[in-house]
Amino acid sequence: MEMRAVEDIAIGEDLTPALPPLAFVLLETAVSSYCSACFSILPPQPFPPLNPNSRPNCSHFPSPTPLYCSVNCSSIDSPLHFSSGELRLLSLFRQSPPFAWEDSSDLRLSLRLIHLFQKIEKIECPEASEIIERIGGLMTNREKLIFEESENSENVYQKIRSGAKMMAEARRASTDHYVNAEKKRDDFVLEEMVLCLVLTNAVEVQDKNGCTIGIAVYDTAFSWINHSCSPNSCYRFVSRLENHQQSSLRIASYATSGCRHGYGDIERNGYGPRVIVRSIKAVQKGEEVTIAYTDLLQPKEMRRAQLWFKYRFSCSCPRCVVVPTTYVDYALQALSVGCTDNQDSSDSEIEKLMQSFDDATNDYLSLGDAESCCKKLEHLIDESIKPKETKSPQLHLFHYLSLNAYTTLASSYKVRASDLSALNYEVEKHKLEAFDLYKTSAAYSLLLAGVTHHLFMSESALVASGSNFWINAGESLLNLAKNSMRNSNSTLKPGKCSDYCLVDTLEPNSTMQLEEIKSRFFNCIANMTLKVWSVLASESSFLRSIQNPIDFTWLASSETSMILSAEEESRLAGFVLKKGSPSLEASECDDQVRMNLVMLSGHCLRYGAILSSICYGLSDEMAHKKSNIILAVKY
């Protein structure tokens, strides 16, 4: 199945209206914070499910249990919560989670879909040997997930089997007329099929901050859109209460004959997270519309492995099959100059590095030890950039593990600074230490944005990642400038951009206009960064080794064994610094530096907002970002 454009579509345009879900649930970690019907943030006194057989009292229900922002939301969603068997499943899951299941959301979503399918399709319980490829037009994928041989097939089989068994038990205990009552108690083929359908078709739903709070399954207008590692479209979620310009459906299915096209305009309650598909590249009439099912900032083999494990298909998109491999994929797994040519040895050493990265990250995420995490990660990446001959692989500045390290370091340094400030901000020593930590956090945020932008210049599908990292860098720099002013009596005069980057236009309406914007902002940001980088990088030997985190022409050209075009080869630099490159010397954060920080933050925020408008349009969140931009310019 695939979906194609029915007309020419420019970059940054909605391809679909806001599509309602067939079924949706919150993750267990989110049920106490968000409404289970509309996914809005819960009020201080939320409403419990309306059980027709008892008085509304949260203590009557297992924890976690769905909560609602209003009586109306509760009345809309509660009947399905009880009739689908979800309440019983939550109780069973709390008592004894089935094999390999840490969260019940996939199982609860499957129960809700079974209720929908039996209501509309009147489906009977299939025999164990019966093959049903699709239900309501959606692929079940049961035969591939359960029966196809693979490295982890036994674990996948056991997980699906145990989850389906608990679903069947929950349904049996929740309905007077259970459709499977006359069959053996270990026969739960329907539950297996729908659970496999959920594992294949469900998408993670994110809140306004990009945090995953739930999962949902949509009709064929969305679910038939195929994956590509270089997609021309993306998607975003909106609530029924959000105001947005409604687009028509500008894509159509290209299905084989005899395959039904989903449920169309069946009656729905209008609740749940709606999804909108939007172009991130120009799409011609008749061209297939594609989205990404996995993280595009991973190297090819990792993407393909994840797609196979979750969906059981080998990606054959242009980015994966092109020979030689794309510049971005080469960069994401590139090693420094002077490393061993033994591929087996390199792979083994990379696995050790991955384990070291995981150990360091675990110190932060599981143990809450941000300082230990910083020390371990900086030791790993600091060793990588030193120019020396070695048989052990050293990570390139653009390696995907390096990008993961920058992300974690930016966050952990910020946490350390916040903790230190909260401890006793009135103590001068703590103020200075916290400011140094904020500086380093901002530096890693800027480096992450710069490296991602470098890759984005070769792969425009990375626009969403680029947008997020530029906005994060801009906000981090702006907060740093504010902190530096707390003890200063001076005032800053607003600066001006000679290239007029900080204009009102946010949405580029053509690829040519976008390229012009990218070039203009890159030049401004790279030049401004040179004026403040010595201050930002002063506390880290690794950061001090980087001459400019935006413009990487300071790196010497590396010798590679792959065949690249002259343009691509000039982009990929090795880890050996150019001879005679001066070391950065730290300078004080004076008024001129503060003004440059403010101007740089304004450019990062504006550029991030422009890229975000391509992916998401000018939403309410974008208005908030615009206020930050104005604040940065007028600070």
Q: What is the CATH number of the domain that holds 289?
A: 2.170.270.10
Q: Which residue has the higher pLDDT, 628 or 463?
A: 463
Q: ∠192-236-517 over CA atoms, to 5°?
A: 145
AA identity, residue 603: H
Give 519-569 pLDDT, tens digit per residue: 888 989 999 999 999 999 999 999 998 999 999 888 754 433 333 444 555
Cα distances (Å, whole numbers) of residue 138 to 127, 202, 211, 275, 291: 19, 11, 26, 17, 17
Secondary structure (3-state) at 492? coil
Residues 357 and 313 in one domain: no
Give 428-439 pLDDT, tens digit per residue: 777 888 899 999
Residues 515 and 499 in one domain: yes
Whether the per-residue pLDDT at 454 is higher than 60: the answer is yes
* Mean per-residue pLDDT over the chain, rounded: 82
Residues 387 and 295 in one domain: no
Confidence (pLDDT) at 389: 53
Quote the domain boundaries for residue 429.
327-634
Give 54-70 pLDDT, tens digit per residue: 655 555 566 788 999 99
Residues 187 and 264 in one domain: no
Q: Residues 557, 566: contact at Cβ < 8 Å?
A: no
The set of residues, in sequence order, having a beta carbon less than 8 Å from that of 539 and lying 6+ positions away, is: 436, 437, 439, 440
Helices and strands of the chain, counted as H and E runs: 20, 13
Q: Residues 100, 79: contact at Cβ < 8 Å?
A: no
Long-range CB contact pairs, 346-355, < 8 A, 24+ = 346/393, 349/392, 349/393, 350/393, 350/401, 353/380, 353/393, 353/395, 353/401, 354/401
Q: Is residue 500 part of a domain?
A: yes
Whether the per-residue pLDDT at 631 is higher than 60: the answer is no
The candidate with the shortest Cα–Cα distance to 303, out of 461, 155, 409, 449, is 461
Residues 369 and 302 in one domain: no
Residues 501 and 593 in one domain: yes
Residues 593 and 555 in one domain: yes
Global model pTM greater than 0.85: yes
Residues 315 and 356 in one domain: no
The set of residues, in sequence order, having a beta carbon less than 8 Å from that of 237 and lying 6+ positions away, is: 205, 206, 273, 274, 275, 276
Q: Is residue 18 part of a domain?
A: no
The set of residues, in sequence order, having a beta carbon less than 8 Å from that of 60 and lying 6+ positions away, is: 48, 51, 54
Exposure of 134 in the CB half-sphere (CA atoms within 13 A): 17
Residues 445 and 394 in one domain: yes
Q: How many domains does the chain have?
A: 3
Whether the per-residue pLDDT at 176 is higher than 80: the answer is no
Residues 275 and 339 in one domain: no
CB atoms within 10 A of CB 534: 17
